[in-house]
Structure 1
Amino acid sequence: MIRDPQKFEALLSEVRGFVRDECLPLEEEIDRTDEIPEPLVQRMRQLGLFGHSIPEAFGGAGLTTEELALVNIEVSQAATTFRARFGGNTGIASESLVVDGTAEQKDRYLPRMASGELTGCFALTEPEAGSDATALKTMAVRDGGDYVITGRKCFITNAPIASLFTVFARTDPQGKGANGISAFLLERGAPGLSTSDPYRKMGQHGSPVGEVLLDGVRVPASAIVGGVEGQGFRTAMKTLNKQRINLAALCVGPAIRLVEEMARHARSRRQFGQPIGEFQLVQQFIAKSNTEVHAARALVLETARKRDAGADVTMEASMCKLFASEMCGRVADRAVQVFGGSGYIAGNVAERFFRDVRLFRLYEGTSQIHLVNIAKRTIAHVAA
């Protein structure tokens, strides 16, 4: 749902200009240095990028699901690391507060997340709890009016720079699966909470990812998201449902960029006395890629509109994430092929995006997990 087309088009135009004029020129440098310059982060704050999905009552833009999807398609046409810097605050790191936080928690944190003063992270994954997220071993033991949290989280985006952590821990040691898991809000500086150095990664350089280490971190019961024990996994699923649509949109943007780069290269690169774009097999790469981009974009926007209308889009969100992430990987692979040897050389746009987009098929649920989820829901629906 687009609430005010004229106002929203002005926002998209501003985002488009920021990506084109300020992000694109820095792609190679950030890939090389593995760090986004602080002046650019400050520009993100000034443009309100950290608060796009946070309600207007808390200083954000309150974008609808469709509006946020369209913004994500724009910002992800530059290197994915740019959106990752503010994306937690506009998605996974703030959504648990938006959907289930208490009034006090929202008042305390959301305005500071919307402004970019706080950088949030979503600490769910553990060494033995990835696809099986309910297998987490981090424990939160009740001690009077407090909880004492001990455990280790891994592969957490923005963990090395985050100031607010949404940490999932088991509060009921007898609970099975999703039962007995609670979500806690922890601030950096809490005794016993530390983070690792950023990992060295295949791609998405400039987006720090690391571990969250919890060694007897004491927090009051009021730190539980929503104030109710045992609801954490439900909160996580609500958050991920929306984030999967966001992530699918973030897969469309790089594919759009790569189609344009392939077409540009096909016009300028000559072999056998003519541009390679004259050869039908190169045309096939470009045509398939552009068709799949349009299909993914249509699926994402249809699902976003259904969510805005109040429909349960749990299965469709999985479909979006599965189709768009796999599509993006295929397009990136074709781009390397179209660029030929130069597409394998560091610094080439196809080589960089090939590395960056590979992660899309892993986080927010692997492609295989989404296939299982879609199949189960399809069979249950037909049986009913």
Structure 2
Amino acid sequence: MVSVIVAALIVVGATKWFLAYHRGNGLAWTAWCAIVAAALTWGFEVPPVWAAAAWIFTAIFGVLSVIKPVRRMVVTGPIFGIFKKVLPQVSQTEQEALDAGSIWWDADLFTGKPEWKKMLDYPAPKLSTEEQAFLDGPVEKLCGMLDDWETTHNRMDLSPEVWKFIREQGFLGIIIPKSFGGLGFSAFAHTEIVTKISTRSGTAAVTVMVPNSLGPAELLIHYGTDEQKNHYLPRLAKGQDIPCFALTNPEAGSDAGAIPDFGIVCKGQHEGREVLGIRLTWEKRYITLAPVATILGLAFKLYDPDKLIGTQEELGITLALVPTNHKGVNIGRRHIPLDAAFMNGPTTGKDVFIPMDWVIGGQEQVGNGWRMLVECLAAGRSISLPSMSMAAGKLCSRATGAYARVRSQFKTPIGKFEGIEEALARIGGNTYMMDATRRMTMAALDMGEKPSVISAICKYHMTERMRSVITDAMDIHGGKGIMMGPNNYLGRAYQAVPVAITVEGANILTRSLIIFGQGAIRCHPYVLKEIKAAGANDLVAFDAALWGHISFTISNAARALWLGITGGKGVNVPGSPETRRYLQMMTRFSSAFALLADISMFVLGGTLKRKEKLSGRLGDILSMLYMASATVKRFHDEGRQKDDIALLTWSVNDAFFRIQVAMDGVLANFPNRSIAWLLRVLVFPKGLTLTQPYDKWGARVAQILITPGAARDRLTAGAYVPRKEDDVIGRLEFAMEAVVKAEPIEAKIRAATKEGKLAQRTASERRLAALNQALITQAEYEHLTYTDRLKRDVIKVDDFEHDLSRQSGEKTWSAPKAASM
């Protein structure tokens, strides 16, 4: 009898788990309850009261789950009332941020059951013939014109020739439609251009990047009046006007919605007549291109105390375009961002009157400035700093790999030491994953998406990985990396890291508040529906969302446990043999993440917003799932290159280990310890089983970086690599190739020395003796001499006059006059 009972309990538990795993509907669960009640009634000798209780429970459950009007009246209604009371208040700026942009693959990752085929079928980003020609022509030429030491040390600015070339070749109009004289390029072309320039000069990259990111052009394209578009966009496209956009105030950095800059609606004189306008007062700082700008985009809070344009006094954040030569505009002074040379500075104005038609979008867009900004930021933040981060990865991969092959210690290239291999593996693996993330995100943008959560993931994680990559590169270069001069190709990139970390949303804020805070509401299948239903007082919609949410959570609990036990094995996923196992593991993590997110929101409620460490870790899980997804997709899009398996394997396993660490951190610090214990059983039923990428894979990644070949070229594709020995980067390439060719020649000399054929004391003497004995040819001897020269040029550092005098540098470029409308 005991065995029968045990078997029955197993069957009951298994069928219950099956229904939960597959998200059975109310009718299916009612049928299960009925079967259990019947078994108790006729299959086992249980007290009648037990059987009666089972049937009563089945009846009540069936009525509530199947007859929705009854459920809404008895259960959902009271819950709805409580929900509306405890729902945290959301400010207008927070709501506009939540509503901005779109959701994309990030929403799939929140479901617990990502549709991997859909992801793999997303089109890979491609350049048009025209875009490729621009990269091969003007971009290549611009890179050849740039001398980063001259720019950042001697001039502290781009040369007049470079400024002229940038303006005349349309670099400031990459995103402006062709109908207005711009290039009208895709997001992928935009990022390819910025990436390539960034591998040569951060100053030039920022100069090109900012006008094509969040600024006047983008805002005009989406919100400007026809008159504003027709006037400004052609001038911006041709470089006749130089734009900047001023948002940050000394009193409002990360909390940009709290800017104290203000405008008062009033009447005033403009061009000799009285017009309706705004009297502005502002103090802005950190404004890129402000010192040379002719058009100032300005964000401020607008007030209408005399009710001249409506019934409200406080109208909200508003955006305007102000020519910098307008009376009262103070502009031109410069900041020095960590010895970088891009134009950046403050701007102020007090009681500056502008006509109402200078508001971007005209009077109709008064008060809509914050929404306009966050909507545009969703796209711009995906391109600008991620492209520069990607450039750092490509530069460090190519240059550090070459240096590690050229530089020898203890008669061995340093790239073959395991300690150096470890750092090289991080450089190569991070670069591969960053580029994969960039490519997949650009595909989304070119499909018309504006993925706000993904843009935050890109900005935070790619700039953080850039920090890691550059630090590793500096460690490998040692003293060469810290001695500034024309031969240092890493120093300025290292100095610029905090700039990227800070701007376009400080990284600490982005990680701890934005990624999960915005993602949990926007991407979750049910949370936003519940919130909207509460806001609309729609009980029917809330009922559907609530019970769908409950079913979703129960299912993910069952899935997390099973997939944790199996490691995801057995899950049906598409893809190639090289990647199917990774997609199975990501399915497991997606279910576990959805469960952790749901329970965190349910238990902590509105306080989760203040639990920034927990929120940051949950955001890390979502981010790593997205970046690992992108890495698998890149491998597929590039034809499953066998030589790239090491890069794929290292990158994905690094992401999985980080996911495990983040999940463990959530559970270890979850305030409710009983629930934390239960979650740990569901998420990690076998404990913490994952490790960091194995050393053998790191060694293979390092080998790619120090070996000329197709894999290295794919990893660093898009970087500017001059084929000139007198160029600091080009010389590295020649030296690396020469060293590789010289290695078998040197091996012959070493072998002859061991055999006692070459007893000479110095290397040069042994080489000459080897030549005289015909152990090597004249050409081989000359190649060794050539290689020595290149190696010495590569490892040397710069020295200067005792007083470190800086060249004065001529005055560079004056901005054209601003054009008033």
TM bin, normalised by shorter chain, reads: over 0.9
Q: Percent identical across equivalent pairs?
A: 24
Residue by residue over 1:251-270, the C-alpha shift from the partner in whole angstroms, topping out at 9 and shown as x without a partner, is 11122112111112112212
Match of 1:191 in 2: 327
Q: Aligned AA for 1:255?
A: G
Residue 377 in structure 1 maps to residue 518 in structure 2 = yes
| TM-score (normalizing by structure 2) | 0.45
Residue 27 in structure 1 maps to residue 145 in structure 2 = no
| 2:375 and 2:450 in contact (8 A); partners too | no
Residue 158 in structure 1 maps to residue 289 in structure 2 = yes
Change (3 A) 1:179 1:2: farther
Q: Shift of the alpha carbon at 1:312? A: 4.1
Q: Shift of the alpha carbon at 1:51? A: 1.0
Q: Shift of the alpha carbon at 1:7? A: 2.5
Counterpart of 1:326 in 2: which secondary structure?
A: helix
Match of 2:438 in 1: 300
Residue 244 in structure 1 maps to residue 381 in structure 2 = yes
Match of 1:126 in 2: 249
| 1:166 and 1:184 in contact (8 A); partners too | yes
Q: Shift of the alpha carbon at 1:189? A: 1.1
Match of 2:353 in 1: 218
Counterpart of 1:171 in 2: which secondary structure?
A: strand
Q: How far, CA to CA, are the matches of 1:135 and 1:252 in structure 2?
A: 32
Q: How far, CA to CA, are the matches of 1:262 and 1:150 in structure 2?
A: 49
Change (3 A) 1:375 1:230: same
| TM-score (normalizing by structure 1) | 0.94
Q: How far, CA to CA, are the matches of 1:316 and 1:203 in structure 2?
A: 31
**Larger strand percent:** 1
| 2:293 and 2:324 in contact (8 A); partners too | yes
Q: How far, CA to CA, are the matches of 2:303 and 2:222 in structure 1?
A: 23
Counterpart of 2:425 in 1: which secondary structure?
A: helix
Match of 1:107 in 2: 230
Change (3 A) 1:203 1:335: farther
Q: Shift of the alpha carbon at 1:86? A: 2.7
Counterpart of 2:352 in 1: which secondary structure?
A: strand
Residue by residue over 1:16-49, the C-alpha shift from the partner in whole angstroms, topping out at 9 and shown as x without a partner, is 52244212xx111111021111111111123221
Q: Shift of the alpha carbon at 1:78? A: 1.2
| 1:124 and 1:133 in contact (8 A); partners too | yes
Q: How far, CA to CA, are the matches of 2:446 and 2:428 in structure 1?
A: 27
Q: Shift of the alpha carbon at 1:173? A: 7.8
Q: How far, CA to CA, are the matches of 2:142 and 2:497 in structure 1?
A: 18
Consecutive unaligned residues of structure 1, counting only runs of 5 or more, are: none
Match of 2:423 in 1: 285
Change (3 A) 1:258 1:103: same
Counterpart of 1:379 in 2: which secondary structure?
A: helix
Out of 180, 190, 193, which is 2:316 matched to? 180
| 1:171 and 1:182 in contact (8 A); partners too | yes
Residue by residue over 1:70-125, the C-alpha shift from the partner in whole angstroms, topping out at 9 and shown as x without a partner, is 22222211121002223222222221111111111111111111111111001000
Counterparts of 1:3-42 in structure 2 under 5 Å?
5-23=128-146, 26-32=147-153, 33-42=155-164
Q: Aligned AA for 1:155?
A: Y
Match of 1:365 in 2: 505
Q: How far, CA to CA, are the matches of 2:494 and 2:426 in structure 1?
A: 17
| 1:15 and 1:71 in contact (8 A); partners too | no
Match of 1:62 in 2: 184
Larger Rg belongs to: 2
Consecutive unaligned residues of structure 2, counting only runs of 5 or more, are: 1-123, 268-275, 306-313, 528-821
Q: Shift of the alpha carbon at 1:217? A: 1.2
Match of 2:336 in 1: 200
Match of 1:138 in 2: 261
Counterpart of 1:263 in 2: which secondary structure?
A: helix
Change (3 A) 1:173 1:204: farther
Residue 323 in structure 1 maps to residue 461 in structure 2 = yes
Out of 49, 55, 76, which is 2:171 matched to? 49
Which region of structure 1 is more displaced relative to structure 2, 345-354 or 180-189? Answer: 345-354
Q: How far, CA to CA, are the matches of 2:361 and 2:497 in structure 1?
A: 34
| 1:318 and 1:373 in contact (8 A); partners too | yes
Match of 2:220 in 1: 97
Q: How far, CA to CA, are the matches of 2:128 and 2:224 in structure 1?
A: 30
| 1:140 and 1:148 in contact (8 A); partners too | yes
RMSD between aligned alpha carbons? 2.0
Q: Shift of the alpha carbon at 1:300? A: 1.7
| 2:247 and 2:298 in contact (8 A); partners too | yes
Which region of structure 1 is more displaced relative to structure 2, 54-63 or 64-73? Answer: 64-73
Match of 1:73 in 2: 195
Q: Aligned AA for 1:152?
A: E
Q: How far, CA to CA, are the matches of 1:303 and 1:64 in structure 2?
A: 12
Match of 2:344 in 1: 209
Which region of structure 1 is more displaced relative to structure 2, 7-16 or 358-367? Answer: 7-16
Match of 1:356 in 2: 496
